[in-house]
Amino acid sequence: MSSGTTSAQVYLTKNAALEQYFSGSSVERRTLFLTNEQVSAIQTAAKARVPSRVVTYYVGKNANGTSGYAFFDTHVVRTMPATIMIVVNPDSTVRAVEVLAFYEPEDYRPPARWLHLFDGKTLRSDLWLKRGIQNIVGATLSAQSITDAVRLTLALYQTAVPKE
């Protein structure tokens, strides 16, 4: 097999990912229907296009209250899709970014240590490739798409998600 070939790769299911990040919490699925004003505000803040006005997300709750929010993003990296989960803390910081499925060649998949660059970041952080987030040589499109998705998720969280 030559470098760059791949088969479809699922690393973690949605339910397993939610259990991993919200262990001991109840998780509730929610749906938002974004208004024109919300879409405009999100796109302005994220400097990225909102792909859909209907947004599904998950809220984790434990005995102390809301433990976090999980958003799933599926996008085409180069020619094939990738699905990531972005976990946002109630204080608007990124808790984690996890690759759940990646259908591009494995060489283009960002390593876990690169994904940890997002930990603790906020929308006000320098969330741009080659600025606050290092590029990945040979996987620029993957790095760009994930960075854009994190910015978009944080803008969505701050603009449209009801805080509890």
Within a domain: residue 24? yes
The reply to whether 103 falls in a domain is yes
SS3 125: coil
* pLDDT tens series, the chain, 164 aa: 444 454 568 899 999 999 999 998 999 999 999 999 999 999 999 999 999 999 999 999 999 999 999 999 999 888 999 999 999 999 999 999 999 999 998 888 999 999 999 999 999 878 988 888 888 887 888 899 999 999 999 999 999 999 87
Within a domain: 2: no
Number of structural domains the chain divides into: 1
Distances (CA, A) of 120 to 52, 92, 94: 26, 9, 5
Q: Does any domain span residue 15?
A: yes
Strand partners, 83: 74, 101
Look up the domain containing 150 and give its range: 9-160
CA distances from 146 to 18, 23, 141, 156 (A): 19, 25, 9, 15
Contact 39, 50 (CB under 8 A): yes
Closest by Cα among 45, 34, 26, 14 to 123: 45
31 lies in some domain: yes
In a domain? residue 1? no
Q: Write down the pTM of the prediction.
A: 0.91
User: Quick check: is 3 in a domain?
Assistant: no
